[in-house]
């Protein structure tokens, strides 16, 4: 297999992992928002800014790095540090009724989403 084919396969796999993980993470954030009293329409939308911030900030930081921009807004650097823990908290809560393995398993979609997004964007 050529390097180009391997790169495309890796990028495709990263995108699939990010998309699948985003779906599971979306469900966890939705359930958490409903549990905290959010109305259904708002709970449906809640995962978009949480997980969307991961992808948006990652894309902006990658673009800035590739163009050698030094003046990246501080909020762009801050967003992954806020949004990744937010998605992990919602995922962890979905496994809170289980043992530590259940919590870790429930957190994995958030970890895979953040990692898959970073890897996919960097390819």
Low pLDDT (below 50) residues in the chain: none
- Helical H runs in the chain? 3-35, 40-45, 47-66, 74-94, 100-122
pTM of the model: 0.74
> For residue 41, what pLDDT is reported?
95
């Amino acid at each position: 297999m050529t390097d180009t084919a391997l790169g495309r396969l890796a990028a495709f796999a990263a995108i699939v992992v990010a998309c699948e993980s985003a779906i599971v993470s979306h469900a966890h954030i939705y359930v958490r928002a409903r549990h905290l009293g959010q109305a259904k329409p708002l709970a449906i939308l809640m995962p978009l800014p949480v997980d969307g911030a991961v992808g948006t900030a990652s894309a902006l930081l990658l673009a800035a790095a590739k163009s050698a921009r030094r003046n990246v807004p501080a909020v762009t650097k801050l967003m992954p540090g806020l949004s990744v823990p937010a998605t992990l908290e919602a995922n962890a809560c979905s496994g809170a009724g289980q043992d530590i393995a259940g919590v870790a398993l429930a957190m994995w979609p958030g970890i895979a989403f953040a990692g898959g997004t970073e890897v996919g964007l960097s390819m």
